[in-house]
Each structure stands twice: as C-alpha cells, then as structure tokens.
A and B are shown apart, each in its own frame.
Chain A
Amino acid sequence: MQIGTAKHSYQADEALLTTRPQRVWMALFAASLCIAPFVLDNYWLYLACLVAINVASATGLNILTGYTGLVSLGQAAFMAVGAYTVGWMQLNLGTPFLLNLVAGGIIAAAVGIVVGIPSLRVKGLYLAIATIAASFILHFIFVNWQSVTNGNSGLTLTPASFFGTPLTEYQQLYFVFVPITALMVLGAANLFRTRVGRAFIAIRDRDISAEVLGISLLRYKLMSFAISSFYAGVAGGMWAYFFRVVTPESFPFVYSIFFLAAIIVGGMGTILGGILGAVFMTLVPELLRFGIDWLTPVLPNAAAMLSPVRTIVFGLLIVGFLIFEPKGLAEIVQRSRRYFHLWPFKK
C-alpha cells in the first residue's frame, strides 16, 4: 500500500497509473520500446520478440492462475492450438495474419472452455492434473490429425505479410508483436477494473463467498479459462509466425511449467509480475551466456565446461527468488516505489 497519494476523484482512484513518477517511468519505457528496434542488433531483437510472445502468454496464465486462482499446466497446449490454427489458416485459406492471430485466439479460447469444465468440480492440484491430461490429449490430436496438423512433420509457414511485404526480419516482427502484446497487457490491466475481473479475484479469494455474492462460478471460471486461453492462442500464433515451423514437439509440457514458473517468480496476481516473470525466465538464461563469454579468454572451451553450471545457476536464481522474495519480482518493484516515494525523508 502506497501512502501519501490522496485521490480527489473516483477517476483518479481507478486510474491505471496513479502517481506522476509512474507515468514518467511508463512514458520512458514506452519511448525505449519505440527506439529499441533501431538500436538493437539481431540477437537482442530476437530476444525482444521472444519476450513479447512469452509476456503475452504469461499474462494470460496470470489471469487464470494469479487472479482467478485456477492452476493450469496447459498453457503450452493452448499456445499450440493457436499456432496450429494460424498455420492451417495461413496455408489453406491465405487469410491476413492479423485475422489468423485473432482466430488462433478464439479457437484456443473455445478449447480452453472445454478444458476448463473440470474446474467447476476440482481445484488446486487436482485441476492442475486435469489440465495436464488435456495437454496430452491435445498432443495426441496434433500427432494424429494428419490432414490438419501434418502429423509429426508439422506445418511449415510462409512469412506473415503486411500489405505485400513479407515479415521476415526480427525488426519487422518486433513492430507487430510488441504492440499486440502491449494491447493484450493493457487489456488485462483494464480487466481488473471491471466487474468481470473483480469477480475473478473474488473467486480466487473464496469461491463460496463469491457465489453467495451472486457471482456465477460456472460463467466466470469458464470465462477466465477462455480469456487465458485466448491470450495463449494469440501468443502461440505469434510464435508460429516467429519460428514458422509448428510441430507437436514445438510446445512441450515443460513449456507450461515455464509459464507457471514465470508468474510465480514474477508475482502472481499482478500484471507487472507476469511481465517481469516472463522477462526473467526468457532473458536470464541468455544473460548467463555473457558470463561464459567473459570467461572464454581466460578459460578456453568455457562454453563446453560451464554450460551445465549456467543451468544450475539459473535454477538457483529461481529457488533464491522463491525463498527471499516469495511475492515475486513485482514486490521488489513495489518496495522500491515505496522507498523512493518519500525519499529522502525515509531511511
């Protein structure tokens, strides 16, 4: 809770960005996102696009798990549904890529609703197991529905094109993915200023009380699954345009764990947490490469010797965050904000 921010209107109280420094930082962040594609090289642009995709999917999972309290380990499978939908439409219908992305989201949302039905009876670990089962069923469909998914060989997509220009370079894709992700994150942030979002939170906090308050569990739990899967579907669609090959092995089960870890590390139930978690999980393994790079001059074959260490360090970092900052990276940001809010009058 931030003190010293007295609001004079309901509008100010409901604003997404409540303080001036927040608005300044957000403006700086938006400006840096606009400048980034002109100053980053191919490697960093690749990572920026990958981060955008992962942020979109992690935000979706955060809506379901972080805000509604429904644990899901099916996010990767929902992404796969979006990716296959986009791939199939691209190859068979030749429809514009933005339409394909929306369709990918809608089909994934429909599948999400079906997968979400058990959430009406089970929750917690039991629901997680149900979503794992759904992942395996979907994987079976991807492998065996040959006419649509092309089996194990999968689909190879042509690049997305914008007014006849094929989007083959990471810089071009950045200008597509980052705005889409920004819109999705903004949508998620706004969702929790509406009745729907608050119903999700009520269900998370105590579902029986929520029902007593007149919140239909059937409707809102399935809606949460649908929205979360829509996010995953769109993210999967972007993934398909990014890598341009979709196979049943493109979205392994461990990818679902990746997203769950992302929202836990970032901070469940906060929009910022989903973003920071996805950034952390995507970028830290890459940043650790530079540690190896720095050691290469003094330690020949550092890559071969230290790569396993890199994996261990990444694991330890995650464990470290869980122990020392169980509320996630978002809490560190909040604490910094509180500290600087009254600075220098507070120790």
Chain B
Amino acid sequence: MLSFTRRTLLALSASAAIATALPAVAADDIVIGGSIPLTGVFAFAGIGIEAGMQDYIKIVNEAGGIQGRKLRLAYEDTGYKVDASVAVFNKLTSQDEIHLYYGDSTGFAKTINGEIDRRGSMIMAGASFATELNDPKAFPHQFMAGPDYSEMTGILLEYIAKEKPGARIVLVNSDTEFGRDPIAATKARAGELGLEVVEEIITPPTAVDVSTEVLKLRRARPDYTIFHGYVLAPLPEFMTQAKQLGLETKFMGTFWSMDSSIWAKVGEAADGFMGVMPYRYYYDEADNAPMMDRIREMRPEYQSTPYMQGFLTAMLFTEAAKRTLEAGKELNGANLKAALNSIENFDTGGIIGVPISIPGNSIPVGRIYRYDASAQQMQPASDWISVQE
C-alpha cells in the first residue's frame, strides 16, 4: 500500500506547482530571441546586454507595448560558442515565433546568415560590429547598433587628423578575426586623411609579455597608438611599459575596450586612455537625454557599455516592429529591414547624442572619450563624429 509522508506530499506538491506553472506570456507577444553569452570569456558583455534589453522592453511594455502587443525577450546562454549559439537559435525558434533576434558573435552572425535569409522571417543584430557584416547585399537581414569596426577606427582617425594633422600612428591588433578586421580600412583611411601608419603590431589575443612589442613602439615613436581586438589585456601592460620608457604616444581603443568599470580596476596607469564610443556613458549628464535619466532611475548603480548596446538594440528592434505594424505589414525579414532602414534623424532619447539614420547595416556615429583616473570616469574628448558617406 502506498503511504505518503508529509515531506513526500510537500515535495510532490512543489514539483506539481513548478510543472504546471506557466510563464506570463500571451500568444501575440512580440518575441525577441537571443543567443547571449552569460558564461565564458564574453560573459561580462552578455550580462550587460541582457539587462539593457530587458530594461528597454520593460519601458515599452509599461507604455502599452507595440499596438497593444507586449514585447518579450527569450534568450539562453551560449558560452560564446558558435555551436551553442546555433543550438539556442534553433531551440528558441522552435518554441516561439521570432521575428527579431540578437546574436552574440561574428562567427554566429556569419554561420546563421544563410538560415535567416532562407527563413525570411526575422532581422538580426548582435554583439558583432564586424566590417564584413556591414554589407546589406551579403547580410540583408542583419544590422548593428553602432559603427562597424572600420568605421570606429575611421572616427578615431577623423579626431586625430583634426587634433594633429600628419600624425604618426601605430596599429596594435590581436591575431584574431576580430582583431584584424579593420586593419586594411584603417590604413586606407589614414592615407586619405594625410596620417602616417608607421608600424603594425599583431599580438596573440591574450598576450601577457609585450616587452618586444613595446620596443617596436619605442622605435616607431608614434603620436597615437590604436588598439583593436582586445577587451583589456594586454592594453594596461603596453601603457605601463610605454610610460616607463617615456613614450609620449596617446593610446586609443574601440568599443569593446571602452567600459569605464574595466579601466577603474587598472588604476592610475589607465589615465588618458582614449577611444571611440557609440553611446553615452551611464553617468553622462546631458540635456534632452530622457532615456539616460530613465536608465539611472531604473538602475541607480553604474551600467556597463554592453548594457547601453543592448538597450539601443532593443530600441531599434522595437522601432522596426512598430513601423512595420503601423504600415499594416506582416512582421517578416524584408518588411522589418525596410522599416529599420526608413529610420532617419531618429532621436534615441540621448543614448546617442545626435539623431541617427540607418540607411544600411550600421550607425556610423561615435564620440571620443578620455579616461580620467581620478574621477574613474570616461570624459568626452570630442563632439559626436559621423563618418556616414
């Protein structure tokens, strides 16, 4: 005969409650899918991106959603591995009807591109700003919520050309697809602007000992050194050794090495580091930036640069879906991309300091910031620079 103890009954009822509980989802929700790295080497970005997207979705839903339809983020961890990202894509698209998707890497964006084109039902953005993806012919259903890597270095070069015409530049890139991405375009643009690329240094992505490279830097005596393809290491080591050698070069970076909380841990050696940032920082005070005020209201503590990227991506997804539905069109890849490309002089609520347009796959706008170690903040060093042709 079966007999139940109180503990068994409790366990059974708890399991039943979990098994039968249904998430608060409605059939007509607009679902944003996401292959997001919450573990692994890129977890710091994924955690920020997820929070940013969730916050914007909350704002939209509190305002009534899109034509009464709520937004929902369905996402899973990828560990920043392409096969896991594709698995998540297949899992989520098997569970929900998804028209908007966030991908976590260049590898995933390239791998899934054929499938997205074949399905024709969604648009995709993501953590990659690869120059290769900024091609509406090859990647017709993708976009990036910022400038591509070549446009980022282009913005840096515009700044340099204005600050010091004819400046000498050294490029330091990691030996990865990410790192080598903008080299050719940077050299070409530098030539056009009358700047001189005097040395190219390629390092392993996680290089620790960079003394040989710093000696190369010393020989080249550049006015500016542009890093790309790193998050942090080996930048602090470069900067510390260069300072010890008395080099006057100014160090610069691109978006993924621009989070101020990362540099705060480096301390005094980080002072003066500059770079291109497509969005405002959490602590930036500006007039007419209601979204920045809203973010600070929702989250009183500092939010990272990936948070801002996730927030803006969700905003652009929403805008594309809103425009498509307002036009009475079906939510599919072609209509959503056309709606996205119709965005012109769009006010992001201060996330980007100037109105933006998305004629292709990128938003080629950014601003130069300089790290102030005493304030532990990135301070604006230029106005917003657009490299839109």
A residues at B contact (CB < 8 Å): 41-43, 45-47, 50, 143, 151-154, 156, 159, 168, 170, 243-245, 247-250, 285-286, 289, 292, 294-298, 301, 303-304, 307-308, 310-311
Indicate whether A244 sits within 8 Å of B111 (C-beta atoms), given known contacts A43-B87, A303-B76, A307-B77: yes
Contact between A297 and B180, CB atoms less than 8 A apart: no
Cα separation A162 to B213 with both chains bound (whole Å) = 51
Interchain CB contact under 8 A, B79 and A311: yes
Docked complex: B89-115 residues within 8 A CB-CB of A? 90-91, 93-94, 107, 110-111, 114-115
- State in angstroms the CA–CA spacing of A244 and B86 once bound together: 12
Whether the Cβ atoms of A245 and B21 lie closer than 8 Å is no
A311 to B84, CA, bound (A): 13
Contact yes or no, B21 A297, CB < 8 A: yes
Q: Is B158 interfacial (CB-CB < 8 Å)?
A: no
Which chain B residues lie closer than 8 Å to A168 at the CB level? 114-115, 118
* CB-contact partner of B77 in A143, A297, A303, under 8 A: A303
A235 to B83, CA, bound (A): 15
In the complex, whether B289 has a CB less than 8 A from a CB of chain A is no
Question: Which B residues are CB-close (under 8 A) to A307?
Answer: 38-39, 76-77
For A170, the chain B residues whose CB sits under 8 A away are 90
Check A46 against B180 for contact (C-beta < 8 Å): no
Do residues B93 and A249 form an inter-chain contact, with CB atoms below 8 A? Answer: no
Taken together as a complex, chains A and B put the C-alpha atoms of A325 and B180 apart, in Å, by 46
Q: Is the CB of A285 within 8 A of B84?
A: yes
What CA separation (Å) do A248 and B51 show in the bound complex?
Answer: 32
Interface Cβ pair total, 8 Å cutoff: 86
Provide the residues of chain B in CB contact with A249, threshold 8 Å: 107, 176-177
CB pairs A–B below 8 angstroms (18 shown)? A42-B93, A45-B90, A151-B180, A152-B176, A153-B132, A168-B114, A168-B115, A245-B107, A285-B84, A286-B87, A289-B91, A294-B18, A298-B18, A304-B47, A304-B51, A307-B39, A307-B76, A311-B39
Cross-chain contact B83 with A243 (CB below 8 angstroms): yes
Q: Which residues of B contact A41 (CB under 8 A)?
A: 94
Q: Are B18 and A50 in contact (CB under 8 A)?
A: no
**How many angstroms from the CA of A295 to the CA of B15 in the assembled complex?**
11
| Interface of B toward A, CB cutoff 8 Å | 17-19, 21-23, 38-39, 43, 47, 50-51, 54, 75-77, 79, 82-84, 86-87, 90-91, 93-94, 107, 110-111, 114-115, 118, 132, 175-177, 179-180
Residues of A with C-beta under 8 A to B84: 285
Instruction: Please judge, given known A-B contacts A250-B107, A297-B18, A311-B39, whether A43 and B94 are in contact too, CB under 8 Å.
Output: yes
CB distance from A172 to the nearest CB of B (A): 12
**A249-B107, A298-B21, A303-B76 known; A50 and B93 CB under 8 Å?**
no
Contact for A297 among B23, B93, B111, CB less than 8 A = B23
- Structural contact, A303 and B87, CB atoms closer than 8 A: no
Q: In the complex the two chains form, is A304's CB within 8 Å of B87's CB?
A: no
Task: Give CA–CA (A29, B240) in the complex, Å.
Answer: 62
Contact of A295 among B18, B47, B118, B176 (CB under 8 A): B18
User: Contact at B114–A244, with CB atoms within 8 Å?
Assistant: yes
Closest to B110 in A: A245
Top-6 shortest CB links A-B: A307-B77, A297-B21, A152-B177, A307-B38, A43-B90, A43-B94
Majority secondary structure, A binding face: helix
Q: In the docked arrangement, what's the CA distance between A156 and B75, Å?
A: 27
Q: Are B90 and A243 in contact (CB under 8 A)?
A: no
With A43-B90, A152-B176, A294-B19 as known contacts, state yes or no: A310 contacts B77, CB within 8 Å.
yes
Contacts of B110 in A (CB 8 A): 156, 245
Residues on B with beta carbons closer than 8 Å to the beta carbon of A286 = 87, 91
Q: A50 — which chain B residues lie within 8 A by C-beta? A: 83, 87
Considering only CB atoms, which chain A residue lies closest to B76 in the complex? A303
What is the chain A residue whose CB lies nearest that of B78? A307
**In the complex, are the beta carbons of B107 and A247 less than 8 A apart?**
yes
* Chain A residues within 8 Å of B51, by CB: 304
> Whole-angstrom distance between the alpha carbons of A185 and B179 in the complex?
40
Note all chain A residues with C-beta closer than 8 A to B76.
289, 292, 303, 307
Cβ contact within 8 Å between A46 and B87: yes
CA separation between A152 and B149, bound complex, in Å? Answer: 15
Chain A residues closer than 8 Å to B93, beta-carbon distance: 42-43
Complex alpha-carbon distance, A323 and B93, angstroms: 38
Asked if A152 and B114 make an inter-chain contact with CB atoms under 8 angstroms apart, the answer reads no
**Is B177 in contact with A154, judged by CB distance below 8 angstroms?**
yes
Contacts of B79 in A (CB 8 A): 311
**Further 8 A-B residue pairs, CB within 8 A, beyond A168-B114, A243-B86, A308-B38:** A43-B91, A143-B175, A243-B83, A249-B107, A250-B107, A303-B75, A303-B77, A310-B77
- Within the complex, the shortest CB–CB distance from A152 to chain B, in Å, comes to 4
> Closest chain A residue to B37 by CB distance?
A307
Known pairs A245-B107, A303-B75; A297 contacts B22 (CB<8 A): yes
Chain A positions within 8 Å of B23 at CB level: 296-297
Query: Closest CB-CB distance, B25 to chain A, in whole Å?
Result: 10
Q: Once the chains are docked, how many angstroms separate the CA of A152 from the CA of B205?
A: 13
Distance in angstroms between the alpha carbons of A152 and B94 in the assembled complex: 32
Complexed CA–CA distance, A304 and B93 (Å): 19
Residues of A within 8 A of B39 (CB): 307-308, 310-311
List residues of chain A with CB within 8 A of the CB of B54. 301
Pairwise interchain contact B90-A304, C-beta atoms closer than 8 A = no
- B54 to A, closest residue via Cβ: A301
Which residues of A have CB within 8 Å of B43? 308
- Residues B18 and A304 in contact, CB atoms below 8 Å apart: no
Q: How far is the CB of B222 from chain A (nearest CB, A)?
A: 24
Give the distance in Å from the alpha carbon of A307 to the alpha carbon of B40 in the complex.
10
Distance between A154 CB and nearest chain B CB, rounded to angstroms: 7
Interface centre among B17, B84, B111, B115 (most CB of A within 10 A): B111
For the complex formed, measure the closest distance between the CB of A18 and the CB atoms of chain B, giving whole angstroms: 36
Contacts of B17 in A (CB 8 A): 298
Complex-state Cα separation, A310 to B114, whole angstroms: 30
CB of B185, distance to nearest CB on chain A (Å)? 13
CB contacts (< 8 Å) of B21 on chain A: these are 297-298
Chain B nearest CB, measured from A316 CB (Å): 15
**Considering the chains assembled together, what is the distance between the CA atoms of A159 and B113 in angstroms?**
12
| Chain B positions within 8 Å of A245 at CB level | 107, 110-111
* Contact across chains for B114 and A159 when beta carbons are under 8 A apart: yes
User: Are the CB atoms of A153 and B177 closer together than 8 Å?
Assistant: yes
